[in-house]
Structure 1
Amino acid sequence: MVQLPTFEHTPMEGVETAYKTVYDKFHTHTTKPIEWRLKQLRKLYWGMRDNMDLINAACLKDLGKPVHETYLSEVGWCMNDIIFVCKNLAKWVKDESAPDIDLLNKIVSPTIRKDPMGVVLIIGAYNFPFQLSIGPLIGAIAAGCTVVLKPSENAPAAGAVIEKIFKESLDPSAYQCVQGGVPETTSLLNNKWDLIFYTGNAAVGTIIAKKAAETLTPIVLELGGRNPAIITKNANVRLAARRLYWAKVHNAGQVCVSQNYILIDKEKLAEFLQELKNTIAEFYPDGVKNSKDYARIVNNRQWQRLKKMLDESKGKILLGGTMDEADRFLEPTVVQVDDPTDSLLVDESFGPLIPIYPVNDLDEAIRLANKVSDTSLGIYPFGNKKETARVLNETRSGGASINDGFFHASIPTLAFGGVGQSGTGSYRGKASFDAFTHRRSFTKTPGWMESLLAIRYPPYTGKTKQFRQMNEQKPTFDRDGNVYFTSRLKAWLFGTNTLVVVLLAVGIQQYMQRRSKL
């Protein structure tokens, strides 16, 4: 049995010290060289690898999380992302030539430089305490930022291990870990940051957004979502049952991208329920409660919240429903609801509750999905190609997985983020580097251009016409928005058909040459 470090709140004076430390460090500019960043990332990798047993123990203590799930969505996820970033960082940090610049402006070498945003605050979440804290940190280090990380106080064992990794692996003048709850977080937010990155619920996200607005601080918000799954009449019901049930048993449903409810064609309901029973028997042959492969609810407050949601629902429990508060156990519970305003549909459960709402057809499913959760974090359509394409085209969400439960969110190098009520901004892989990077445009004007630039200086007499002739581009369309025929012809000749035209011209030329020799 490994000995976990003790979780202790950071003293309030220590909160201010942490901010001042990373603020001063950033302004020394020593975090900007790429080799310095890479060294920190490499040390972070080994800090996680060398503390893997502690990470497993912390996730087990905080969430009852199986070791397999901890590796799948915490340790392996973060370590692979570090490797990916290290392999690509030299390419990402290079200056970029600005695209689509006209010939005259090319003289001043329009360029995009990648600068770090600066001093950033990262606030993690409890459900994936390492992934959702270390994941953003990887991007911040890669971008050259300095960081104060505030792990979730609801996963204290994980927070203590994160602090240990910080102290042992990272430069303490650039990266600080602050432990605590509302008072410590409030104290942190009273400082001026260059970026705030928050993962959690929309209520706290709103508070953070308001606070950031006071100092015009940019934010990345990764929030939850009332995510719909849609099962059409042409769906593979067996796959839908297995994949959506897994999405609700992974981490005991404490996953912001798992489906919040299922909209299913009435014709498929009975078959789907039978396939769910088959899935449960396969996944947990000795029962869910007796399995070591099923996590627990993080604390009693969250357990009571989920129980209250279930008690207040007017739906009918079809499968599951067993509870044990002392063990923080809540069995995955399938509930049929017939009211679109039922609390299980309109509120995010963030737990192993599986409400099912039967619909008449795909039209009704799409209409309800847009009404209940207009900008969800994810959407999960099961059906044929035409049906799933309709769902993607006629709904909005941060991401989507077709014929699966949140597969898109399990790929560390695929940009992940919400839209509208489910968040703003994205990260992971290169998107993490971009999230903490300012794309700084600049030009270099040579001295010999001064005679050309005289057109912009007063007096302006006679210069306007000349400047318009030099600068003004001609439209390729008329007042009705139709493209001129000559423009379409030009596009055809010099666009995608250029190769065909060239080959045709060469062929004609060769033919004429042969004819002339006869």
Structure 2
Amino acid sequence: MASLTYTPVENVPIAHHTVYNKFHTNETRKLQFRIRQLQKLYWGLKDEEPALLEACKLDLGKSAFETYLTEVGWVLNDILFMIKNLKRFAKDEKAEDTSLMNMAMSPKIRKDPLGAVLIIGAYNFPIQLTLGPLVGAIAAGCTAVIKPSENAVNAAKIMEKIIKNSLDQNAYQVVQGGVPETTALLDCKWDLIFYTGSANVGKIISKKAAETLTPVVLELGGKNPAIITKNADPRLAARRLLWAKLMNVGQVCVSQNYILVDKEILPAFLKQLEVAFKEFQPKGAESAEDYGKVINERQWLRLKQMLDSTSGKILIGGKTNQSTLFFEPTVVQVSSPDDSLLKDESFGPLIPILPVNSLDEAVRIANKVDPTPLGLYPFGTKAEAAKILSMTRSGGASINDGFFHASIPTLEFGGVGDSGQGAYRGKASFDAFTHRRAITTTPSWVEGLLAIRYPPYTNAKLKQFRSMNDSKPNFDRNGRPTGGLVWWVLGLGSKSAAGAGGRWVLVAAIAVLAARYKDLIVN
């Protein structure tokens, strides 16, 4: 295996200092700078595409097709999407549904970059899960240090080369290493930490970040359930869930961790699983050129321990080879939610199946095993899927499929509860690294309207303020509708708007409308 040159620990604060200082030059705030950096990253990836495909083959045994589909092509398209839409994303937003008085202050939201950020990648999709967040950071105007996973050695080396050769070295740095180097990074003060990986490490990062009130985005995993009702199509369920486990040898944070199957459809589902296995891997997993390997021996031993500890029955697969890190896709029928294959996230090609008597039982088990998984996969009728979604929580869900929702680069992706916090992908990547800064501008001509806010306060001023500020409900005490916009307009001249208060409202309305449409009138 190739070796990875770790960044000297004493150099970690230097990397942080470099990107921190660069951010405060304000150069990265310029849209032209952001777009140019994204363009250079795009061509850096294109130029190193063959090396990236080879790197993932060496690290994870991924085929070129799978690497391009889920890694290289993904990030390339994400960059182009961001370049195309960045000006629109970065544009100021007007406040919605504000009062006439407040409209005069032109309330808006400005999109400011959070600052210098830290991105910690993962090994299972080393390119997508490291450079994907970086695309969002660059687009938002942030500077960044990225720490690729030390477990995907070859991919980490190529990504470092791309960033050094393509991007502004004062704005974007790479730190390579393991626990000591990551600890040194966490000792620095960041404006955001973006981490993808295990929940245990996520807790460590959150605790460390809390010491300096640093916000975090955590993309974690979970014991994701698939639920197959008695009305599901067994063939489709078998093919689609098997695909989800063959992808990257099951080393996918959103792949199903276990399958709850209605006993009525269990025989048909198992039969279709066998058919799908023969179709997808006609010569077996060991001979399949597009089936990868477990990332390292430590993870392989963890999976082997889970399989050896199960009290379930192996129905399909079960072959392993420690020397080559081969682990055959393995279907196991279990009898309890407490089985070793359900107690922890497998993050591998283990496929435990637990028969259930009803949909309600399946939902109860799913909520008990993991109440906030990263993914949820209902198979059945539209009504059954709606029922499952209404009674569960999850980061995302794919109805009648295996993690398809996570395969759409422009669809917001994130966890909930123990499976993470925050989201990214598409516009959400820009938002993840952006501070929505509230801005108002108080013109001099509105001073007369603001007189009521200055002391001394009187009952007359309070009455006047109420007439200018208070919204009116369109419902009575029993929730019955009482009117709407027309009702309010007709009431301008009535008792509710009578006297000085009503006059102030009309004056404010005329002033605001004049300010808003003055350009139109002039032109």
Answer whether TM exceeds 0.5 for this pair.
yes
Partner of 2:463: 465
Q: Does 1:406 align with 2:403?
A: yes
Question: Which of the numbers 38, 43, 46 marks the counterpart of 1:41?
Answer: 38
Partner of 1:90: 87
Partner of 1:326: 323
Q: Distance in 1 between the 2:485 and 2:449 partners?
A: 34
Larger mean CA deviation between 303-312 and 98-107 belongs to 98-107
Superimposed CA distance per residue, residues 50-101 of structure 1 (whole angstroms, 9 cap, x where no aligned partner): 1011111111111111111100100010000001111100111111111111
Q: Distance in 1 between the 2:472 and 2:44 partners?
A: 59
Q: Distance in 1 between the 2:365 and 2:439 partners?
A: 48
Question: Which of the numbers 269, 281, 288 marks the counterpart of 1:291?
Answer: 288
Gaps of 5+ in 2: 491-523
Superimposed CA distance per residue, residues 193-223 of structure 1 (whole angstroms, 9 cap, x where no aligned partner): 1000000000000011111111111110000
Partner of 2:182: 185
TM-score (norm 2): 0.91
Larger mean CA deviation between 430-439 and 266-275 belongs to 266-275
Q: Return the offset for 1:479.
A: 3.4
Q: Does 1:141 align with 2:116?
A: no
- Counting only pairs closer than 5 Å after superposition, residues 417-496 of structure 1 correspond to structure 2 as 417-461=414-458, 462-480=460-478, 482-486=479-483
Q: Return the offset for 1:6.
A: 5.5
Superimposed CA distance per residue, residues 451-492 of structure 1 (whole angstroms, 9 cap, x where no aligned partner): 211211111134222222222223333334x1344459969x
Q: Distance in 1 between the 2:210 and 2:379 partners?
A: 40
- Counting only pairs closer than 5 Å after superposition, residues 305-384 of structure 1 correspond to structure 2 as 305-384=302-381
User: Judging changes above 3 Å, is the alpha-carbon distance between structure 1 residues 267 and 489 closer, same or farther for their aligned structure 2 residues?
Assistant: farther
Partner of 1:195: 192
Secondary structure in 2 matching 1:327: coil
Partner of 2:161: 164
Conservation of the 8 A alpha-carbon contact between 1:6 and 1:160: no
Partner of 2:511: none
Secondary structure in 1 matching 2:157: helix
User: Judging changes above 3 Å, is the alpha-carbon distance between structure 1 residues 70 and 445 closer, same or farther for their aligned structure 2 residues?
Assistant: same
Q: Return the offset for 1:273.
A: 1.1
Q: Distance in 2 between the 1:43 and 1:107 partners?
A: 43
Question: Which of the numbers 262, 268, 279 marks the counterpart of 1:282?
Answer: 279
Secondary structure in 2 matching 1:224: coil
**How many equivalent residue pairs?**
488
Partner of 2:521: none
Q: Distance in 2 between the 1:353 and 1:18 partners?
A: 40
- Counting only pairs closer than 5 Å after superposition, residues 106-125 of structure 1 correspond to structure 2 as 106-125=103-122
Letter of the 2:448 partner, please give it. Answer: S
Secondary structure in 1 matching 2:351: strand
Conservation of the 8 A alpha-carbon contact between 1:455 and 1:463: yes
Letter of the 1:468 partner, please give it. Answer: R
Conservation of the 8 A alpha-carbon contact between 1:319 and 1:334: yes
Secondary structure in 1 matching 2:261: strand
Letter of the 2:121 partner, please give it. Answer: G
Q: Distance in 2 between the 1:34 and 1:308 partners?
A: 51
Letter of the 1:425 partner, please give it. Answer: G
Q: Distance in 2 between the 1:487 and 1:114 partners?
A: 34
Conservation of the 8 A alpha-carbon contact between 2:260 and 2:353: yes
Q: Return the offset for 1:246.
A: 0.7
Q: Distance in 1 between the 2:481 and 2:167 partners?
A: 61
Conservation of the 8 A alpha-carbon contact between 2:101 and 2:468: no
Q: Distance in 2 between the 1:322 and 1:33 partners?
A: 55
Larger mean CA deviation between 469-478 and 404-413 belongs to 469-478
- Counting only pairs closer than 5 Å after superposition, residues 226-305 of structure 1 correspond to structure 2 as 226-305=223-302
Partner of 1:29: 26
Partner of 1:78: 75
Q: Distance in 1 between the 2:131 and 2:482 partners?
A: 56
Partner of 1:512: none
Conservation of the 8 A alpha-carbon contact between 2:112 and 2:436: yes
Question: Which of the numbers 37, 50, 60 marks the counterpart of 1:63?
Answer: 60
Partner of 2:50: 53
Q: Distance in 2 between the 1:369 and 1:64 partners?
A: 32
Conservation of the 8 A alpha-carbon contact between 2:2 and 2:153: no
Q: Distance in 2 between the 1:100 and 1:144 partners?
A: 29
Superimposed CA distance per residue, residues 116-162 of structure 1 (whole angstroms, 9 cap, x where no aligned partner): 01110000000000000000000000000000000011111111111
Q: Return the offset for 1:431.
A: 0.5
Q: Distance in 2 between the 1:6 and 1:366 partners?
A: 46
Q: Distance in 2 between the 1:444 and 1:236 partners?
A: 59
Conservation of the 8 A alpha-carbon contact between 1:5 and 1:160: no
Partner of 1:204: 201
Q: Distance in 2 between the 1:147 and 1:483 partners?
A: 54
Q: Distance in 1 between the 2:450 and 2:485 partners?
A: 35
Q: Distance in 1 between the 2:278 and 2:404 partners?
A: 23
Larger mean CA deviation between 229-238 and 454-463 belongs to 454-463
Larger mean CA deviation between 321-330 and 343-352 belongs to 343-352
Secondary structure in 1 matching 2:286: coil
